[in-house]
A and B are shown apart, each in its own frame.
Chain A
């Protein structure tokens, strides 16, 4: 519902105010539109269009100084009618949306609120003719040309003048009016709290959310996790050390969140084209009817058959076709302590960049229908390499896994080889299509119990070769940092792309995938 509404408002006025479906009455706070929870589509559209018309056509706020509550009510009503008249002039169909919601008639009586409702109706509905003198006066003040729907009141001061005159007139009628309980009718109209600066401050103070977040830190409970043992390559003795590293999988903590933001989604859309080549792989077909080059064997057979005066088989070409493939992808995210490095002003940390890239890539893979899994890894010595499972291979709701992804916290070190072997084992067990393991990292394999800087690099390189033997391709995206050279030693120069900005991601992925 919210997506449709925001697309709709963009189509109407090229604006995308934040929409919140949480209010009891429609209202505007700080440019965000709050709508009541309702299942009724027209109720929502009428309220959203009215509120957005204020954002588009109304001044930021009105000067309420020296205006009594009655004049304020009338001024708000005239402003409502004015923005609606302007909106209807631009988008005539909106009249069909709003007019039926105005149902006031003289039968409603001549109380204060009844008169306001009758005035509201007579300002929007040209077929409605109200006998009341005050209502008629309001209509005459409001319209320059009633047939064309041209409002005469164009500036706040003209509006204020007319409101004061009408307000004084209705004030003289001594009708009972309670400003505290008054809400505009029809109910699709917002409660005008945005119009008066002082009220606004007061309301905002009320609306400020209390930041209480119960974050349970489930990093600690180790009791119930399964451990898998992996060997490690020791470059000094040129041997594998069997069962050297212990890797445990645990689910990443869930976080309440509202999906990925627009910039990441847009990158996700741009990633679809480069990633699509994963879903198809070229095959060469022999003995085809059409193709680029002759299939020599078939050509010889054809000529032999012709000379024997038998019926030659005309399928003599070799052709290259794209066959659908069913790829498996594992995104492996390095969230070691070194990823807290800030990338510069307003760009957040390296981990933020890594998480954003993984989110965009995951969204694109999801839309392409590729089976993929996302995990974060960090290590605390060889006995404790942790995989935090953000998303398994099973299809999952994107708000859930993007939330888990965003909740990854930096900590520990980078025992890359063990993580690669674990990902390889998971990928090799499944499926028959192409398998790709993407590491998103700062590129520096390190761990607390290893002091030789070359040791883990050599081990990770070994893990990459082992993966290749199991037909798992391993590639690495290195984020701004000095790690690109070391990553090249691990993954080979063609398996590494360095990116400095999220916008470079599609091109980097294209280079990694096209290989």
Chain B
């Protein structure tokens, strides 16, 4: 079960007989809405429509889902999809124990059986059999066939599927047979003022220094498609700000959190380094 990430500090709501107790989000995760995405998510959620969150790395998709799970009071089962993740990793598999074989539900089955938000992060990275297995759950059937076990799991009324997708030029494309099952919420980076506020709030840094870090981060996004696949994410900016709070100068914090982290290409790295020299 090493693919399952646990919700933040989730032991609080431990109730007997609640198999998803450990997946409940106990404390409110900070999220600053950019537009009307919360209302849109709630509307889709009222009818348990599957949602795809699109947007670049580190712009707040995962945080948004955590926040919405907390807001809606639903357990959140997160699976970070990687290229070796197959259907078995999602639905479950037979295991051996002393008496013979025993079925172990996977995270998707768990959420479908007991009613939770299942969040598949970067679904397109998973193997093709994993993307197909969600199909019967995402249309009106709302069910999950477990062929290996001869069982049909009918999804709990509270079950909802959320996936994220980063449509960068380097990423795989989402197949239209999968794509057409989802409502979409498009995420971008917040405006510089909002991003400054987010960075300041997350790191505890003053607004003025936070805005200098954001300004440099915006510069790096100009290289997107010209040497960088993506510029510095909001998450990177927060990291830089945390380093400044820790006592580093802005220049060394930006170098550590952005310049040295963004690229291995020596030309791009040299350009980023010189731009950092010029910017402060």
Contacts and interface: CB of A to CB of B under 8 A. Distances in A.
B48 interface: no
Given A3-B267, A7-B223, A12 B275 contact: yes
B170 A11 contact: no
Interface string B96-124: 10001100000000000000000000000
Contacts of B227: 3, 7
Interface string A89-114: 00111101100000000000000000
Interface in A275-308: 291-294, 302-303
Given A4-B274, A92-B280, A14 B222 contact: yes
B171 interface: yes
Contacts of A269: 169-170, 225, 229
Interface in B243-277: 267-268, 270-272, 274-277
B181 interface: no
Nearest to B124: A273
A38 to B, nearest CB: 16
Which label, helix, strand, loop or mixed, suits the secondary structure of the A interface? helix
Contact of B219 (A12, A294, A302, A303): A12
A93 B277 contact: yes
A273 B278 contact: no
A195 to B, nearest CB: 25
Contact of B279 (A3, A6, A7, A91): A91
A266 B86 CA distance: 31
A11 B272 contact: yes
B30 interface: no
B36 to A, nearest CB: 29
A489 B172 CA distance: 30
B142 interface: no
A314 B96 contact: yes
Nearest to B266: A4
A179 interface: no
A266 B271 contact: no
A272 B170 contact: yes
B275 A11 contact: yes
A143 interface: no
Interface in B164-220: 169-173, 219-220
B223 A11 contact: yes
Interface in A317-340: 320-322
Given A93-B278, A293-B93, A507 B223 contact: no
Contact of A510 (B84, B173, B226): B173
B9 interface: no
Contacts of A94: 278
A509 B84 CA distance: 22
B204 to A, nearest CB: 25
A14 B274 CA distance: 15
A200 interface: no
A93 B84 contact: no
B86 A11 contact: no
Contacts of B127: 320
B42 interface: no
B88 interface: yes
A97 B83 CA distance: 46
Interface in A1-15: 3-8, 10-12, 14
A289 B48 CA distance: 38
B170 A270 contact: yes
A136 B171 CA distance: 59
Given A3-B267, A293-B88, A12 B278 contact: yes
Contacts of A10: 222-223, 226, 271
B87 interface: yes
Interface residues of A, number: 40
B267 A49 contact: no
A507 B171 CA distance: 12
A91 B219 CA distance: 11
Interface in B121-160: 127, 148
Contacts of A93: 276-280
Contacts of B100: 303
Contacts of A262: 226
Contacts of A428: none
A264 interface: no
Contacts of B172: 273-274, 510
A169 to B, nearest CB: 35
A309 B83 CA distance: 40
Interface string B62-86: 0000000000000000000001101
A294 B267 contact: no
A172 B171 CA distance: 68
A4 B277 contact: no
A266 B96 contact: no
A150 interface: no
Given A273-B172, A292-B88, A292-B93, A49 B223 contact: no
Contacts of A5: 271
Nearest to A321: B84
Nearest to A45: B274
Given A11-B272, A14-B222, A45-B274, A322 B170 contact: no
Contacts of B93: 291-293
A316 interface: yes
19 contacts: A3-B227, A4-B274, A6-B226, A7-B226, A7-B267, A8-B275, A11-B223, A12-B219, A12-B278, A14-B219, A14-B222, A93-B277, A96-B277, A266-B225, A273-B173, A293-B148, A314-B96, A316-B96, A510-B172
Given A10-B271, A93-B280, A269-B169, 17 more contacts: A3-B267, A7-B271, A7-B272, A8-B275, A10-B226, A11-B223, A12-B279, A14-B222, A269-B225, A292-B86, A292-B93, A293-B148, A294-B101, A314-B96, A316-B96, A322-B83, A507-B173
Interface of B: 83-84, 86-89, 93-94, 96, 100-101, 127, 148, 169-173, 219-220, 222-223, 225-227, 229, 267-268, 270-272, 274-280
Interface of A: 3-8, 10-12, 14, 16, 45, 49, 91-94, 96-97, 262, 266, 269-270, 272-274, 291-294, 302-303, 314, 316, 320-322, 506-507, 510
What 9 pairs across the A-B complex have the smallest Cβ distances? A292-B88, A7-B271, A11-B275, A93-B278, A8-B271, A3-B267, A270-B169, A14-B222, A91-B278
